[in-house]
Structure 1
Amino acid sequence: MPDTLALAFQASVARVPNRVALRTPHDDQRLTWAQYGAAVERLAGAFAGLGVRRGDRVALWSHNRPELATAAAAAAHLGAAVVAPYVTAPAAAVAHLLRDSEPRVLAIEAGLEHSLQHIEHAVPRVVALDGARGDLPALSEVDAPARFSFEACWRAVQADDLLAILYTSGTTGAPKGIEWPNHKALMIAENLLGGLHARDGIREVSYLSFAHAFDRSLHWRGSLHATTQTFCAEPSRLHEALLDARPTFLTGPPSVWQGLKARLEATLDKSEQAALDAGIARVRALLADRPPRALSAQQKRTLAGLPARLGLDRVNHAVTAAAPCPLAVHEFMHGLGLPFGEFWGMSEIGVASMTDPGVRDIGTVGRPVPEYEVRIAPRAGPAGEILVRSRLTSRGYRNRPQETAAMFALDGWIRTGDLGTLDDQGRLRIVGRVKELIITTNGHNVAPAPIESQLIDACPLVAQACLVGDGRPHLAMLITLNDPDGAADPATRQTVADALARANTRLDPRERIKRHAILPDRWQPGDELTDTLKLRRQRIATKYAAQITSLYT
């Protein structure tokens, strides 16, 4: 396997020059691999003209678009690491990222120009990613230096040169920059393909922020396998992009799969629902080690036609990660017949475990992938902290030598901060986060994520659930709805209460939710949520302190 992105990219250009590499829905924009290669060469010259050299950093701030991928690949051909803020990040967070990474240049899309006054002091040079705008010169119009040799530059890039600095979501403090060299990043991207054997001709949709490890790895494996990527600038329009692109591979956090599930459920007639119910019943039987009832020929035909409504009829590998995935989502996707799996990893370590095809691993995140060791460090309770060791883990945190040293302090074993268990088949089950543990006044340690997932699983009306109760006599929950207006509707409130009662029956008595509050709010990235849609628990506890207090009076 090539050990730099530039080598992988150039091999793909040479192998399939006429294959479509980058496109937008309906082919409004479309580049073959040969055209992609030429565009990368032009932008590499432009970055060099701006003073970018091997070992530098380049910052890219943009929604998903072909120009973003082209600029990132161009920087990689110079041996420069790419840094990408979230487009939803507040200006202060972007300025922190720029100060920490010290990029030579920031390339920004037109729609984000209004934020420049708050961040331009943190970077020496700013250019427009998508054409000149006012005082901003266009990146594509910058001339390459005299005697610039594109080939000499990309052949000089080394496997250990940084390819990217990925920043954590900042759930408990300032985001930390995680350094990924070329060869490790490419191996991580390859691991994401799991057991997929048909690696040629992969079609994917890029819809998450380029700052997200999911999306970045999509671009890395694009260079490895000459994939075709369709760009979806707004995640809210993912369904439209899927119908257009018909991907063969799709990754996404559970919220994406929940949204697709709800969209399809809303279209089903009685016979289709009956066929899906039969498919889900088979999944449940297999999970319970019972013989599943055979589907009729008509039910098979019906189920075979349903994924096309989501644009998933050609998917041969579908994966979720980043948060606990509700059981109902697994049952639904497998009931449809989709090859749906789950993996676990972190920005610091890459993908460490992945489920096998089929339903047997549902409820776990599978077994360690090749090159990774996983063990559990004992602590109070049935779960312990998950430790990981591998030669493929990241280099560590940028500008944080003490935290980097601490990360590798246990003879190379990395403390992940996640709680989990290993079963007798070597499968890993995630329980929660060490820092998120709630300790009630009776001394009981509670991991909130599995309990929150129980409610979301039981009630499709619920958008987010946040368990509270640290230092309190019992547990309570703050709840938001997919339709915030429903918070005032008695019928909706009763539906949520009934779902909560059902969820409680599946919980240990000490983990049951005694009271709850339904909030008329929609939690947003940058406020109650991180940019990767994780709960900012401290922020929520502060913002809703009065509501939490009322649950204990």
Structure 2
Amino acid sequence: MALDVPYRSIPDMFLKRVAATPDRQAFAHPAADDSGPVWLTWSQMGRRAKAIAAGLHGLGVGLENPVAILANTRIEWVLADFGIMCAGGATTTVYPTTEPEDAIHIVADSGSRVLFAENPAQAAKIAGADLPALTHVVLFDGTPDPAAALPQLTLADLEERGERALAAEPDLIDMIVAGIGPDHLATLIYTSGTTGRPKGVELLHGGWCWEGVAQAHLGLLREDDLQYLWLPLSHSFGKTLLCGATHVGLPTYVDGRVDKLVDLLGVIRPSLMCGAPRVFEKVYNKSVTTAQSGGGAKAKIFAWAVEVGKRKVALEQAGSAVPAGLRLRYRVAEKLVFSKLQARLGGRIRVLVSGAAPLSPEIATFFAAANLPISEGYGLTETSAGNFVNPPDGLRIGTVGKAMGDLECRIDADGEILVRGRPVMRGYHNLPEETAAAFTEDGFFRTGDIGTLDAQGYLRITDRKKDLVKTSGGKYVAPSHIEGMFKAICPYTSQAVVIGQARNYCTMLVTLDPDAIKGWAAGTELAGRDYAEIVAAPEAQAMVEEYVAQLNSKLNRWETIKKVTILPRDLTIEDGEITPSLKIKRRGVETNFASEIDKMYAGTLAEL
């Protein structure tokens, strides 16, 4: 059955929300002194977005004209995005961690007319570049440079210009919005990609509106929820959550300071939070290592509670009744152990959603055992992020859930997942040949992921088609599956990367969580040393190898990890080893740590 989407465009949806609930809380941001959230109503959001739109209109931004945002997740990002939409423009996203070369490529390739930059340092990334389409830079923070080659103004300046324009022509933005339809360009999101230069993904208004309605249809979002939005808004996952919040009208706290996330969860007390698996892995690591370091009775009670929770989850997953005795033991486990973890996340969580990368089933089971079930989802930048998700009342651990809305899906002969529907991109910007190659003859998008659909429509992802490793013995290995297993087994892990392509056995590079490993070292001769010294110690190597042995006991012979190397630092976005959405860039890792990899294969025939 077709999903009913009652909007022509994002600004149509936004302005209808403003009209329907003008005085309801819409978006909040941290106070300047960090004393708590500062809320804006939908009416206030509407006024400011319209002023920004009118200001952009005065700078020459019209229908489908790209406008770039280069900033961290913050309330000004949201306001600028709605302003661009209401002006008829197309938001072009640039991660704040993007290097100048790629930032210039994105602004140039998109043909962006205006750039919103977080501060002068971000604006400096495009200084001196040949960008003939770009006419102005708008700063969220800082003072405009009068000597800059391109005119600079503050966001407040832009809003003032827009307010003057609206005073002269009050219906200006309403008339512009009336001319925006579902097939007009809404966003250009450049895939950070695990290889190659970023490609601009053209996503339309109709697809984003579909996303907002589909999330509510599944029960993921409710108007009585409070959302904590920290995800990068430069990423499609963040954008789809903005659309859902607008359709439903739920209040959303916006704060991209990831280092403050855990502390602020207890202050904001959200009922809804979405994130990448790394956030849930860190919470898991902290819970397990804290219990283990407590030793004695504390560690035993924790282990008992987790075991009770897992038994309850196993029965629920199998569709079986939970016996009264187990229900009673679980209530005790929740009071003694799980209530503390629930409190750490604010004590009001109704829905957690994980996306952007695979979530280990073991970690998903742990959270479900703690009565904090994670609805894992799946989608790509090219398909507006949200395609499949586990419904809150129908969680199946190890799957990414069912197709959202009326999205079509089929599995190709080689196992590749193919999707077709409104959230799928128009194409890659200025890349007609790559666009054509991305679709089947009957219009299905080739996701590049391998998976299976069960009889109930739940999708299980096996691996990235291009990431499957084929050993020199001809056996296929799925790296992300093994990496996820290891993260669940070893609570000190930050990242794990399986190596094995064209080699005669598999090896693994591992980085450890700095906080967790310092806790592990406390009370030993390694206490007080820095990360690099701790992980280089024989004791750390022995500890990791013991966890690898546990991993190998669960793997097929050809999948087992024969050697492991602990890296002297964590993987970083800046060094090209992970994407901003925290996916591993395997080529970057293998290039940067080639000597460490070579040592694990020294003296073998792996290269033949």
Deviations 1:350-386 (A, max 9, x none): 322222436761111123233122222233xxxx211
Matches of 2:195 and 2:450, distance apart in 1: 17
1:294 aligns with 2:327: yes
Task: State the partner residue of 1:128.
Answer: 139
Give the superposition deviation at 1:72: 0.7
Determine helix, strand or coil for the equivalent of 2:399: coil
1:181 aligns with 2:204: yes
8 Å contact from structure 1 (residues 76, 163) kept in 2: yes
Letter of the structure 1 residue corresponding to residue 368 of structure 2: H
8 Å contact from structure 2 (residues 342, 349) kept in 1: no
8 Å contact from structure 1 (residues 204, 245) kept in 2: no
Counterpart among 258, 270, 274 of residue 281 in structure 2: 258
Determine helix, strand or coil for the equivalent of 1:295: helix
Alignment of 1:271-290 (within 5 A): 274-287=304-317
Q: Rate the CA distance shift 1:14–1:261 in 2: closer, same or farther, 3 A.
A: same
Alignment of 1:196-235 (within 5 A): 196=219, 199-235=222-258
Matches of 1:264 and 1:251, distance apart in 2: 19
Counterpart among 240, 243, 262 of residue 239 in structure 1: 262
Count of aligned pairs between the two proteins: 549
8 Å contact from structure 2 (residues 10, 85) kept in 1: yes
8 Å contact from structure 1 (residues 389, 414) kept in 2: yes
Counterpart among 304, 307, 310 of residue 344 in structure 2: 310
The answer to which of 359-368 and 390-399 deviates more is 359-368
Q: Rate the CA distance shift 1:409–1:130 in 2: closer, same or farther, 3 A.
A: same
8 Å contact from structure 2 (residues 212, 246) kept in 1: no
Alignment of 1:303-342 (within 5 A): 305-342=339-376
Q: Rate the CA distance shift 1:468–1:164 in 2: closer, same or farther, 3 A.
A: same
8 Å contact from structure 1 (residues 439, 470) kept in 2: yes
Matches of 2:423 and 2:95, distance apart in 1: 25
Give the superposition deviation at 1:289: 7.1
Q: Which runs of 5+ in 2 are unaligned?
A: 1-5, 147-151, 515-530, 603-608
1:436 aligns with 2:467: yes
8 Å contact from structure 1 (residues 517, 547) kept in 2: yes
Give the superposition deviation at 1:290: 7.0
8 Å contact from structure 1 (residues 303, 337) kept in 2: no
Determine helix, strand or coil for the equivalent of 1:417: strand
Matches of 2:237 and 2:378, distance apart in 1: 12
Q: Percent identity?
A: 30
Q: Rate the CA distance shift 1:456–1:344 in 2: closer, same or farther, 3 A.
A: same
Determine helix, strand or coil for the equivalent of 2:273: strand
Deviations 1:263-291 (A, max 9, x none): 44566683566444422332244456776
Task: State the partner residue of 1:529.
Answer: 578
8 Å contact from structure 2 (residues 229, 274) kept in 1: no
Q: Which runs of 5+ in 1 are unaligned?
A: none
Deviations 1:467-502 (A, max 9, x none): 112111111111111124332133322221111111
1:354 aligns with 2:389: yes
Q: Rate the CA distance shift 1:246–1:119 in 2: closer, same or farther, 3 A.
A: farther
Give the superposition deviation at 1:140: 2.5
Letter of the structure 2 residue corresponding to residue 541 of structure 1: E
Task: State the partner residue of 2:58.
Answer: 49
Give the superposition deviation at 1:203: 1.7
Give the superposition deviation at 1:302: 4.4
Matches of 1:504 and 1:290, distance apart in 2: 31
1:16 aligns with 2:37: no
Give the superposition deviation at 1:174: 1.0
Determine helix, strand or coil for the equivalent of 1:478: strand
Task: State the partner residue of 1:70.
Answer: 79
The answer to which of 137-146 and 91-100 deviates more is 137-146
Task: State the partner residue of 1:426.
Answer: 457
Q: Rate the CA distance shift 1:225–1:370 in 2: closer, same or farther, 3 A.
A: closer
Task: State the partner residue of 2:539.
Answer: 491
Alignment of 1:5-154 (within 5 A): 5-25=10-30, 26-27=35-36, 29-110=38-119, 112-113=121-122, 115-116=124-125, 118=127, 121-122=130-131, 123-130=134-141, 132-135=143-146, 136-142=152-158, 143-144=161-162, 145=165, 147=169, 149-154=172-177
The answer to which of 227-236 and 129-138 deviates more is 129-138
Letter of the structure 1 residue corresponding to residue 176 of structure 2: C
Q: Rate the CA distance shift 1:508–1:449 in 2: closer, same or farther, 3 A.
A: same
Deviations 1:185-226 (A, max 9, x none): 121233344631762133212212211111111222222122
Q: Rate the CA distance shift 1:424–1:9 in 2: closer, same or farther, 3 A.
A: closer
8 Å contact from structure 1 (residues 56, 103) kept in 2: yes
Give the superposition deviation at 1:308: 4.3
RMSD of aligned residue pairs (Cα, Å): 2.4
Alignment of 1:474-489 (within 5 A): 474-483=505-514, 484-485=531-532, 486-489=534-537
Task: State the partner residue of 2:413.
Answer: 378
The answer to which of 366-375 and 538-547 deviates more is 366-375
Matches of 1:392 and 1:88, distance apart in 2: 27
Matches of 2:121 and 2:203, distance apart in 1: 27
Determine helix, strand or coil for the equivalent of 2:203: strand
Alignment of 1:462-473 (within 5 A): 462-473=493-504
Matches of 1:92 and 1:425, distance apart in 2: 46
Q: Rate the CA distance shift 1:360–1:237 in 2: closer, same or farther, 3 A.
A: closer
The answer to which of 266-275 and 101-110 deviates more is 266-275
Letter of the structure 2 residue corresponding to residue 528 of structure 1: E
Determine helix, strand or coil for the equivalent of 1:29: strand
8 Å contact from structure 1 (residues 83, 101) kept in 2: yes
Task: State the partner residue of 1:503.
Answer: 551
Letter of the structure 2 residue corresponding to residue 78 of structure 1: A
Matches of 2:341 and 2:208, distance apart in 1: 32
Q: Rate the CA distance shift 1:32–1:131 in 2: closer, same or farther, 3 A.
A: farther
